[in-house]
């Protein structure tokens, strides 16, 4: 079948793909290609193995629908219920999606890596639709990677960090194929939110990812969310005990998938209920059961430390956080209204090492805050903001931002919470799935400003404001009225 304007055909290393013309985002429309395999289905003998090349095909393969998503628990928490997600069953979960103006040319490429605590999410969520990026001259790619136990479980044998290697395989596909979609493989920006941003900082220092991208944007995640092999073993042993199987990947693979997903969810709950280093090692600090592992090879060290040592000196970086990150986790559950005053001191001790000084400063900044609001402020600062600024301090030329527009959801208590910036970045504040999170009419001018800054950074490496430096501490604050500010967190970010 010959290509037509409505059914464009692109040639890739795996074979020819038929996409679709979507007549939105401009008079000429946007070309979309969905469900493109960048690796073989990670099942059977390929499960718990590094990503293998997909089987090439003959003829023309339809790339019209999103592919299956990585296996994940669909039960949903109170927090998950207000964050859009899509779960599509099937084995071929290692796929990606492309939006582009044209198959001709050499436009900047942006590759988005989704969040979800390394346990949930996919590249098929409607917020991540790349139409507006393609409209503005960017070739936009979203992807799936293995999550939870399948992506990050390790007992010290075999290859670790399979979820991260999936991301590398997707970036290799971009390098080898994006020119067929009108993209420039020499101008690739990776960006991600939450676990996606943590992935970005990890990719920046992974030898296998070197040269696959040139710029990076990390939204609400930085370079500390990794764990030691010893911590990974604690997690793996507990997961095996819950399931009643041998503590090995073979033992885990013997369990039906739904049972494994339920056990992983139980494990995550246990971590949150008793975040003690004696039980969980590094996981007690990061509060995620499955994370990238510092194995010394695929991931040579803690990303923050390697970035400070210059491992990513050739990568331009934009990094930032939201003003009220932690309120997403406390408000929908009702926890923020019930918290004791002691919780703020516990968080401050874990994340800053100076509990009394930190809590007193936050109380001075907002004397009317409730105990729960103080605890949320401490967690926002310690888990998100300080690590981001540590990266900015260590990586010369970094650009810093803060997202400050407040959601109207839950009577305004969500504030500028975790993940709230995503509809603005993707210029998708009109997406119906975002309305429960936004809670009120969102300002299009703020979406215009934030989306344009991301596009400008991908195109030129300059989002439109001065780079952060110890002498100026410049930070762009995105709100109803966006403005350049001086970051006021002058105390040096503490270590883990």
Residues in Cβ contact with 23 at an 8 Å cutoff, skipping those fewer than 6 apart: 29
Q: Is 150 exposed, middle or buried (0-12, 13-18, 19+ CB in 10 A)?
A: buried
Contact 120, 83 (CB under 8 A): no
Contact 145, 122 (CB under 8 A): no
**Interstrand relation of 183-193 and 139-143 (parallel, antiparallel or unpaired):** unpaired
In the annotation, is 482 catalytic? Answer: no
- What is the secondary structure of 60-74 as a DSSP string? EEE--SPPPPPP---
435/453 Cα distance (integer angstroms): 23
Residues in Cβ contact with 307 at an 8 Å cutoff, skipping those fewer than 6 apart: 201, 204, 205, 223, 391, 394, 395
165/49 Cα distance (integer angstroms): 10
Q: What angle, rounded to 10 degrees, do the helices at 355-365 and 371-379 form?
A: 120
* Distance in angstroms between the alpha carbons of the first and the last residue of the chain: 58
Q: Is 84 left (phi over 0), alpha (psi -120 to 50) or beta?
A: beta
Q: Strand 30-37: give its sheet, edge to edge.
A: 20-22, 30-37, 95-100, 139-143, 107-113, 183-193, 215-219, 316-322, 399-403, 474-478, 483-486
369/346 Cα distance (integer angstroms): 17
CA angle in degrees (0–180, nearest 5) for 397-220-190: 60
384/248 Cα distance (integer angstroms): 33
Catalytic residue among 119, 122, 194, 407: 194
The SS3 of residue 140 is strand
Residue labelled with tokens 């296996």 = 71
135/286 Cα distance (integer angstroms): 38
Contact 78, 92 (CB under 8 A): no
Contact 18, 63 (CB under 8 A): yes
Question: Phi, psi (5° rounding) for residue 29?
Answer: 85, 175
Catalytic residue among 291, 325, 373, 402: 325
In the annotation, is 340 catalytic? Answer: no
In the annotation, is 418 catalytic? Answer: yes
Question: Phi, psi (5° rounding) for residue 183?
Answer: -100, 160
Catalytic residue among 373, 418, 451, 475: 418
Closest Cα to residue 176, out of 317, 36, 6?
Answer: 36
Hey, which residues are catalytic here?
194, 325, 418
């Amino acid at each position: 079948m010959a290509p037509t304007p409505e059914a464009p055909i692109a040639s890739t290393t795996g074979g020819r793909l038929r996409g679709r013309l979507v007549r939105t985002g401009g008079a000429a429309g946007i070309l979309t290609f969905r469900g493109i395999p960048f690796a073989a289905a990670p099942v059977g003998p390929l499960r718990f193995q590094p990503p293998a090349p997909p089987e090439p095909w003959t003829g023309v393969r339809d790339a019209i629908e999103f592919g299956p998503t990585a296996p994940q628990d669909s039960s949903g928490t109170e927090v998950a219920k207000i964050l859009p997600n899509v779960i599509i069953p099937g084995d071929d979960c290692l796929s990606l999606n492309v939006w582009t103006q044209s198959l001709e040319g050499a436009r900047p490429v942006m590759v988005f890596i989704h969040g979800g605590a390394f346990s949930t999410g996919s590249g098929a969520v409607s917020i991540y639709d790349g139409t507006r990026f393609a409209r503005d001259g960017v070739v936009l790619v979203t992807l799936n990677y293995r999550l939870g136990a399948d992506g990050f479980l390790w007992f010290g044998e075999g290859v670790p960090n399979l979820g991260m290697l999936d991301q590398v395989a997707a970036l290799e596909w971009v390098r080898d194929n994006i020119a067929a979609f009108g993209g420039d493989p020499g101008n690739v920006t990776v960006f991600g939110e939450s676990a996606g941003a943590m992935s970005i900082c990890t990719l920046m220092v992974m030898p296998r990812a070197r040269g696959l991208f040139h710029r990076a944007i990390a939204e609400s995640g930085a370079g500390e969310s990794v764990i030691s092999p010893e911590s990974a073993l604690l997690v793996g042993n507990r997961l095996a005990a819950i399931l009643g199987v041998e503590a090995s990947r073979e033992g885990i693979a013997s369990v039906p998938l739904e049972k494994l997903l339920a056990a992983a969810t139980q494990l995550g709950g246990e971590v949150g209920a008793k975040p003690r280093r004696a039980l969980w090692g590094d996981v007690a600090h990061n509060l995620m059961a499955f994370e990238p592992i510092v194995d010394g090879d695929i991931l040579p060290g803690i990303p923050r430390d390697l970035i400070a040592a210059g491992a990513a000196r050739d990568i331009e970086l934009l990094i930032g956080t939201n003003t009220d990150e932690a309120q997403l986790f406390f408000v929908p559950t009702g926890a923020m209204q019930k918290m004791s005053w002691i919780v703020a001191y516990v968080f401050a001790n874990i994340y800053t090492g100076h509990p009394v000084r930190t809590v007193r400063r936050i109380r001075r900044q907002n004397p009317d805050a409730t105990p729960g609001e103080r605890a949320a402020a401490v967690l926002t600062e310690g888990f998100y903001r300080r690590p981001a600024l540590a990266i900015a301090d260590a990586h010369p030329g970094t650009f810093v931002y803060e997202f400050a527009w407040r959601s109207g959801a839950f009577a305004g208590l969500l504030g500028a919470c975790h993940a709230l910036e995503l509809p603005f970045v993707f210029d998708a504040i009109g997406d119906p799935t975002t309305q429960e999170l936004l809670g009120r009419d969102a300002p299009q001018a703020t979406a215009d400003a934030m989306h344009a800054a991301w596009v400008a950074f991908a195109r030129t490496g300059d989002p439109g404001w001065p780079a952060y430096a110890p002498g100026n501490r410049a930070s762009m604050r995105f709100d109803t009225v966006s403005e350049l500010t001086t970051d006021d967190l002058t105390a040096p970010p503490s270590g883990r």
